[in-house]
Amino acid sequence: MFEKEFGRALSPIEYQRIGQWIEEDEYSPDLIQLALKEAVLNQAYSLNYIDRVLLSWERKNITTEQQVEEEQKRRKRKMLNKETTRSEKELPNVSLHNWLEEDNNDQ
């Protein structure tokens, strides 16, 4: 699956790292697959990126597909709120006087 998504063969070290996720870190294959999907959607074709995603989910106690989906929705809402807040800030008043036109009152 990784090779298909990355569009290249994995190195032996990369295979070892994926094995460590399952055996040492005890991530479920489903969770690893979701992290791969997250990486691909963000155009980050790197095991380092996937590792960071898995660590982030571990810190947040995310272990199921449903929890991943809830986290993605929460992040999306947070980003939308930031954009809305930026666009709602008042902009300073700027003079719209056209300085290139001559003012007839000054003559």
| High-pLDDT (> 70) share of the chain, % | 87
Residue with the two structure tokens 């070892």: 16
For residues 40-53, b (16+ Cβ closer than 10 Å) or e, as one string?
Answer: eeeeeeebebbbeb
- Name the residue among 31, 32, 42, 40 with its Cα closest to residue 75: 42
Task: Tell me which long-range contacts 9-15 makes (C-beta under 8 A, separation of at least 24).
Answer: 14/47
Q: What is the pLDDT of residues 47-78, one digit of tens each?
A: 999 999 999 999 999 999 999 999 999 988 98
In residues, how long is the chain?
A: 107
CATH class of 1-67: mainly alpha
Whether pTM exceeds 0.75: no
